[in-house]
Chain A
């Protein structure tokens, strides 16, 4: 049926209706680049070196029937990069703020990351809290409940993920996109504002129905 087109790898220009800019922030070693890699390549990178400066990745997903291209800036967590990486926050529609559930210090630093995110993005930017490495249950140092409470107190969406197993990685990126799309629809996000982090591509969308490449779940192959 429709899944026949899911193997298509050719990406025609503008086979999406929106571009959303994301940033990924958080302490070093929490798995920001691994989350990006798992999301864009569906693979886990073991022993990757610290990110130099910033990394960039894209993927097209489907949210509420719309094809959306995510442009993701993954910032280095090391302190010596922090001052300059702040310039990448500007104009982000979504900010994924990541900590490591096995290292309490990375959780304790969240308020500082949140302050940066609030100060440097616009009021409509969706800030998504992510507790990564949830596969390492035995080493857990931050409970789900307390992080959930922190998220609620600060008006953040929250998920625990594992970049290693891939658990909830897809959901985190997609749910953030859904929140952004909702604020476009209810009119609270002004697409004409310079720093909304969203670009509309009206020429695409309607005629791109045959391409479902990126958003097709891998498990659906029943050959």
Chain B
């Protein structure tokens, strides 16, 4: 399951859907929701967080301003994009919104599990860093006391 957050889009595909999106803006004034969604879907699978953020903006725009029938798609990829840039709370918010539209949607509940596991893992890493710092501080204090005593 973690693969959903780790696989990356082939660069050639990202470029292809980027030019399709840009061409539509140039010729029609704005891109169709299909072209915008395809481009955003590629962007949120990029290895660069700047791309992912851009994809999120495009999906937010689709969600607010475009067809009702595809809202679950936008929410799902908003959740994926946010999870990939470690915005886990925002990701969970979109998963919950998706579950309101489609209660029990298994893709949503699976993703929720992955995101929560990631949060846990990152939380543990955070605690380990804090723990390590505390140890280091303790050691310094110890050295200080020892030095003071030796004088």
Q: Which residues of A contact B (CB under 8 A)?
A: 45, 48-49, 51-56, 71, 80, 83-84, 87, 90
Q: Are B72's CB and A90's CB within 8 A?
A: no
A59 to B87, CA, bound (A): 29
- Output the nearest chain A residue to B72 by Cβ-Cβ distance: A52
The residues of A that contact B4 with a CB separation of less than 8 Å are 54, 56
> CA A49 – CA B34 in complex, angstroms?
20
Contact flag A84-B73 (CB < 8 Å), given A56-B1, A71-B3: no
Which of A54, A56, A83, A90 contacts B38 (CB under 8 A)? A83
**Distance A53 CA – B110 CA, assembled complex (angstroms):** 14
B70 touches A80 (CB 8 A): yes
Query: Which one of B17, B37, B102, B106 lies within 8 Å of A45 (CB-CB)?
Result: B106
Asked whether B42 lies within 8 Å of A51 as measured between CB atoms, the reply is no
CB distance from B80 to the nearest CB of A (A): 8
Complex contact B3–A56 (CB within 8 A): yes
Given A56-B3, A80-B70, A84-B41 in contact, is the A51-B10 Cβ separation under 8 Å?
no
Residue contact A84 to B17, C-beta cutoff 8 Å: yes
The answer to whether A80 touches B37, judged by C-beta atoms less than 8 angstroms apart, is yes
Give Cα A83–Cα B17 distance, bound, in whole angstroms: 9
Instruction: Check if B77 is an interface residue, CB within 8 A of chain A.
Output: yes
Minimal beta-carbon separation of A95 from chain B (angstroms) = 17
CB distance from A60 to the nearest CB of B (A): 15
- Which of A51, A53, A55, A71 has a CB less than 8 Å from the CB of B41? A53
Closest A residue by C-beta to B20: A83
Choice from A48, A54, A87 contacting B13 with Cβ under 8 Å: A87
Which interface residue of B13, B37, B76, B107 has the most chain A CB atoms within 10 A? B107
Contact B106 A48 (CB under 8 A): yes
Smallest CB-CB separation from B35: which chain A residue?
A83
Docked pose: A16 CA to B107 CA in angstroms: 27
The answer on a CB contact under 8 Å between B10 and A87 is yes
**Contact partners of A45 in chain B: CB under 8 A:** 106
- List 10 tightest A-B contacts by C-beta distance, closest first: A87-B13, A52-B76, A56-B3, A84-B41, A84-B38, A52-B73, A49-B102, A56-B4, A87-B10, A83-B38
Chain B contacts for A53, CB-based, 8 A: 41, 73, 76-77
The answer to whether B105 has its CB under 8 Å from any CB of chain A is yes
A-B CB contact pairs (8 Å), 27 listed: A45-B106, A48-B106, A49-B102, A49-B105, A51-B107, A52-B73, A52-B76, A52-B107, A53-B41, A53-B73, A53-B76, A54-B4, A56-B1, A56-B3, A56-B4, A80-B37, A80-B70, A80-B73, A83-B17, A83-B38, A84-B13, A84-B17, A84-B38, A84-B42, A87-B9, A87-B10, A90-B10
Complex CA gap A53/B72 in Å reads 11
A34 vs chain B, min Cβ distance (A): 11
